[in-house]
Chain A
Amino acid sequence: MQKQNVVIRFCGDSGDGMQLTGNMFSSLSAILGEEISTLPDFPAEIRAPQGTLGGVSGFQVCLGNGVYTPGDKADVIVAMNAAALKVCTLGSKFNQTGAQYVEEDSMYKKDAVIVVDTDSFNKVDLEKALYKTDNPFTELGIPESVQIVPVALTALTKESLKDSGMDNKAILKSRNMFALGVVCWLFNRPIDKAIHFLEGKFAKKPALIAPNVKVLTDGYNYGNNTALNINTINVEKAEDLAHGTYTSIAGNKATAWGLIAAAQKSGKQLFLGSYPITPATDIMQELAARKDMGVVVVQAEDEIAGVCTAVGAAFAGDLACTSTSGPGLSLKSEAVGLAVMAELPLVVIDVQRGGPSTGLPTKTEQTDLLQAVYGRNGECPAVVIAASTSANCFQYAFEACRIALENMTPVILMTDTYLANGTGLWRLPKLAELPEIHPQGVPAELKGKYNAALRDENSVRYWAFPGMEGYEHRNIGLERDSQKGSISTNPENHEKMVKARQAKVDQVANRIPLLQVQGNTESDTLLVGWGSTEGHLHAAANELNCALAHFNYINPLPKNTEEIMRRYKKVVVCELNNGQFASLLRSKIAGVDFKQYNEIMGQPFAVERIVESIKKL
Chain B
Amino acid sequence: MEASQFKSDQYVRFCPGCGDHAICMALQKAMAQVGVPTHETVVISGIGCSSRMPHYLNTYGFNTIHGRGGAVATGVKTAHPELTVWQMSGDGDCLAIGGNHFIHEIRRNVDLNICLFNNRIYGLTKGQYSPTSPKGFVSKSSPFGTVERPFIPAELVMGARGTFFARTLDVDMPTTVDCMVKAKDHKGASVIECLVNCVIFNNGTHNWIADRETRAERSIILRHGEKMIFGANKDKGLALDYSQGLMPRLIVVAADDERVLIHDAHTQDSTLHRMLAMMGQDKFTDVANAEIQPELPIALGVIRDVEAETYDEAVRNQINEVQAKAKVKTFDELLMTLEHWDI
Interface residues of A (CB under 8 A from B): 27, 30-31, 33, 197, 200, 238, 241, 243-249, 257, 260-261, 264, 269, 271, 273, 290-296, 298, 300-302, 304-305, 308-313, 315-318, 320, 334-335, 337-338, 342, 428-431, 465-478, 486-487
Is B125 an interface residue, CB under 8 A from the partner? no
A35 to chain B: closest CB distance in Å? Answer: 10
**Cβ of A301 and Cβ of B101 under 8 Å apart?**
yes
Q: Which residues of chain A are within 8 angstroms of B82 by Cβ–Cβ distance?
A: 467
**Cβ of B39 and Cβ of A311 under 8 Å apart?**
no
B71 in complex: contacting residue of A261, A300, A473, CB < 8 Å: A300
B326 to chain A: closest CB distance in Å? Answer: 4
A219 to chain B: closest CB distance in Å? Answer: 22
Q: Which residues of chain B are within 8 angstroms of A290 by Cβ–Cβ distance?
A: 334
Q: Bound complex: CA of A245 vs CA of B83, how far in Å?
A: 43
Contact with A along B33-47 (1 / 0, CB 8 A): 000011111101000
Further pairs besides A304-B71, A466-B39: 13, Cβ < 8 Å: A200-B339, A245-B341, A246-B340, A291-B319, A296-B79, A311-B72, A313-B76, A316-B80, A318-B80, A334-B65, A338-B68, A467-B80, A474-B8
Which single residue of chain B is at the shortest CB-CB distance from A201?
Answer: B339
Given known pairs A200-B339, A293-B331, the reply for A312 and B75 (CB within 8 Å) is yes
Is B335 an interface residue, CB under 8 A from the partner? yes
Interface residues of B (CB under 8 A from A): 8, 10, 37-42, 44, 54-55, 58-65, 68, 71-80, 82-83, 100-101, 104, 315, 318-319, 322-323, 326, 328-332, 334-336, 338-343
Given known pairs A33-B343, A247-B340, the reply for A467 and B75 (CB within 8 Å) is no
**Cβ of A473 and Cβ of B61 under 8 Å apart?**
yes
Q: Bound complex: CA of A430 vs CA of B61, how far in Å?
A: 39
B97 to chain A: closest CB distance in Å? Answer: 10
**Cβ of B100 and Cβ of A291 under 8 Å apart?**
no
Q: Which residues of chain B are within 8 angstroms of A246 by Cβ–Cβ distance?
A: 340-343
**Cβ of B65 and Cβ of A313 under 8 Å apart?**
no
Given known pairs A264-B331, A293-B331, A313-B76, the reply for A241 and B71 (CB within 8 Å) is no
Which single residue of chain B is at the shortest CB-CB distance from A486?
Answer: B10
Q: Which residues of chain B are within 8 angstroms of A468 by Cβ–Cβ distance?
A: 39
Q: Bound complex: CA of A487 vs CA of B8, how far in Å?
A: 13
Given known pairs A264-B331, A292-B323, A469-B39, the reply for A305 and B74 (CB within 8 Å) is yes
Which single residue of chain A is at the shortest CB-CB distance from B43?
Answer: A474
Q: Which residues of chain B are within 8 angstroms of A249 by Cβ–Cβ distance?
A: 338
**Cβ of B64 and Cβ of A316 under 8 Å apart?**
no
Q: Bound complex: CA of A296 vs CA of B76, how far in Å?
A: 12
A428 in complex: contacting residue of B37, B38, B44, B338, CB < 8 Å: B338
Q: Which 9 A-B pairs have the closest CB atoms?
A: A312-B75, A309-B75, A308-B71, A292-B326, A291-B322, A313-B79, A305-B71, A312-B72, A474-B61
**Cβ of A27 and Cβ of B63 under 8 Å apart?**
no
Q: Give 11 A-B contacts (CB < 8 Å), ordered by A residue.
A: A31-B339, A245-B343, A261-B331, A292-B328, A300-B74, A304-B68, A312-B72, A316-B80, A466-B41, A474-B63, A475-B63
